[in-house]
């Protein structure tokens, strides 16, 4: 259908684009789905090649799992997951020893209080940096900073308290045994996609839209664009005419932040922790050393996966793969001893900010712009709709948010072209 007409053209075959395509098919709409990468899944990608065992380069957790629509899809497709209330730290290393139970409880209470302070600022009607709610003198500040950066992809000075307050979380974070990328790939397996087909421009000056690609021009009555806010803000897809100034501002103020992983493969269990453990690291002997967290032996695989977020993730990615590996490896050695290195087989990293199709990991609104996601949901010219995790008002930064935003975008597009009335997926 690359050269023909369609009801809807969908740009991006991640969770949002695949959900949009499936919903369009259910509504009897013709569609064309294009993807710049050589695979589907977007920022969900289960890698089975680099380490010889499956691990998620991107999203991994079914967040708010009991109400997450993808949990039901995982059940239907036979993708198992581990039910747990939280991946909160149960193993905390302080640089010279493991924290005792009292210290772990103290850290847990402190981080709960930090999130409560953020909520209190918003209750006062203030949309200010999350940093304003944090106590930099706290013993646990570096860990709290790490958690904020991992959640939002930006440092606390650049995270909107109002945006964070909008996020709804049941506290259920269930890891998928085969990987989130594998689930999304299975979900979208029956959807026709034109891979390695990047959209270079969208002309919405006429009654419909014309999308230029290296393989030709796609003409459709409506378009759904699911790429990241950073890609759009930087004009990597040209709009003709340009996007409204109000939308351009929202794209720049709801940035796609930085988050990366360093994955280590070992020949045997060198940790002595239960399967699928979560361990945090904060070296109290070295105040300049950044805090880290690790997923240890997920589902029994001999892996340790370090999580980096925000400014630290961006700095480490810029420093290069070798520096990232060294930083995370040194933390593991401090925690578990040099003997583990004898069993280290391989280490690999992600680099989402350098990925030309994403330019980051997931979105976060800047202080003073906590309501700008509403602007992202406004149609362009009544026929171009944005979708993706950044557009969802409550479940941004998540796969389920992207998934629901794609469904909502199709239903709104269908209403415009006369196929149905909006179904309101964003408010379900």
Whole-angstrom Cα distance, residue 410 to residue 422?
9
Whole-angstrom Cα distance, residue 38 to residue 60?
21
Residues 374, 309, single domain; the answer is no
Has residue 272 been placed in a domain?
Answer: yes
Q: Tell me what pLDDT residue 126 has.
A: 83
Residues 311, 421, single domain; the answer is no
Whole-angstrom Cα distance, residue 296 to residue 307?
11
Task: For residue 84, count CB atoms less than 10 angstroms from its CB and return exposed for 0-12, middle for 13-18, buried for 19 or more.
Answer: middle
Residues 229, 287, single domain; the answer is no
Average pLDDT over residues 337-347: 98
Domain residues for 220? 5-40+193-255+364-427
The CATH number of the domain where 34 resides is what? 3.50.50.60
Residues 97, 155, single domain; the answer is yes
Residues 284, 311, single domain; the answer is yes
Residues 271, 348, single domain; the answer is yes
Residues 250, 282, single domain; the answer is no
| Alpha-carbon dihedral sign for residues 162, 164, 167, 168 | negative
Whole-angstrom Cα distance, residue 396 to residue 390?
5
Q: Tell me what pLDDT residue 89 has.
A: 56
Q: How is residue 38 written in tokens? A: 């050589």
Whole-angstrom Cα distance, residue 308 to residue 331?
12
Residues 264, 346, single domain; the answer is yes
| Percentage of residues in the chain having pLDDT higher than 90 | 92
Q: What is the pLDDT of residues 74-90, one digit of tens each?
A: 999 999 999 976 655 57
| Alpha-carbon dihedral sign for residues 223, 224, 227, 228 | positive
The number of domains in the chain is 2
- The answer on pLDDT for 370 being more than 60 is yes
Cα 237–chain centre separation: 21
Has residue 78 been placed in a domain?
Answer: no
| Residue 77 DSSP code | H
Q: Tell me what pLDDT residue 1 has.
A: 43
- The answer on pLDDT for 3 being more than 60 is no
Q: Tell me what pLDDT residue 87 has.
A: 56
Average pLDDT over residues 80-102: 86
Residues 343, 368, single domain; the answer is no
Whole-angstrom Cα distance, residue 112 to residue 102?
15
The helix (run of H) or strand (run of E) holding residue 187 is: helix 180-187
- The answer on pLDDT for 428 being more than 60 is no
Has residue 66 been placed in a domain?
Answer: no
Q: Give the residue ranges of DSSP H helices in 292-351.
A: 310-319, 321-336
| Residue 320 DSSP code | -
pTM: 0.95
Residue where a domain stops, chosen among 354, 377, 396: 354
Residues 101, 245, single domain; the answer is no
36 with 176: CB under 8 angstroms? no
Residues 133, 275, single domain; the answer is yes
Residue where a domain stops, chosen among 354, 375, 391: 354
Helix (H) and strand (E) counts in the chain: 12, 19
Residues 160, 201, single domain; the answer is no
Residue where a domain stops, chosen among 334, 354, 374: 354
């Amino acid at each position: 259908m690359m050269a023909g007409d369609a009801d809807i053209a969908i740009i991006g075959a991640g969770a949002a684009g695949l959900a949009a395509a499936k919903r369009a098919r259910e509504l009897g709409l013709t569609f064309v789905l294009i993807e710049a990468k050589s695979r589907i899944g977007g920022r969900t990608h289960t890698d089975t090649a680099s380490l010889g065992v499956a691990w998620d380069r991107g999203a991994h957790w079914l967040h708010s799992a009991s109400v997450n629509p993808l949990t039901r899809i995982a059940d239907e497709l036979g993708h198992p997951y581990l039910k747990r209330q939280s991946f909160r730290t149960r193993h905390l290393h302080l640089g010279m020893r493991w924290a005792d139970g009292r210290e772990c409880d103290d850290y847990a209470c402190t981080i709960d209080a930090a999130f409560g302070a953020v909520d209190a600022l918003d209750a006062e009607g203030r949309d200010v940096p999350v940093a304003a709610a944090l106590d930099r003198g706290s013993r646990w500040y570096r860990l709290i900073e790490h958690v904020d950066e991992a959640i939002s992809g930006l440092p606390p000075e650049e995270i909107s308290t109002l945006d964070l307050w909008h996020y709804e979380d049941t506290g259920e974070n269930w890891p998928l045994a085969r990987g989130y990328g594998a689930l999304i790939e299975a979900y979208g397996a029956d959807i026709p996609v034109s891979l390695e087909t990047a959209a270079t421009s969208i002309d919405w000056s006429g009654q419909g839209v014309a999308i230029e690609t290296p393989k030709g021009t796609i003409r459709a009555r409506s378009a759904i664009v699911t790429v990241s806010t950073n890609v759009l803000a930087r004009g990597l897809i040209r709009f003709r005419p340009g996007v409204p100034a109000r939308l351009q501002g929202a794209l720049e103020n709801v940035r796609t932040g930085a988050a990366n992983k360093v994955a280590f493969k070992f020949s045997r269990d060198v940790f002595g922790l239960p399967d699928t453990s979560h361990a945090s690291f904060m070296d109290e002997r070295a105040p300049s050393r950044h805090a880290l967290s690790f997923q240890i032996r997920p589902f029994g695989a001999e892996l340790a996966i370090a999580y980096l977020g925000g400014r630290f993730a961006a700095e480490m990615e810029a420093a290069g793969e070798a520096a990232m590996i060294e930083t995370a490896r040194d933390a593991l050695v401090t925690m578990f001893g040099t003997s583990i290195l004898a069993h280290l087989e391989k280490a690999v990293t992600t680099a989402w900010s350098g990925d030309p199709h994403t330019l980051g990991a997931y979105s976060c609104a800047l202080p003073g712009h906590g309501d700008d996601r509403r602007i992202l949901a406004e149609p362009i010219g009544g026929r171009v709709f944005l979708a993706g995790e950044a557009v969802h008002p409550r479940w941004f930064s998540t796969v389920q948010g992207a998934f629901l935003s794609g469904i909502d975008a199709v239903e709104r597009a269908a209403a415009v072209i006369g196929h149905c009335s909006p179904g309101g997926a964003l408010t379900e």
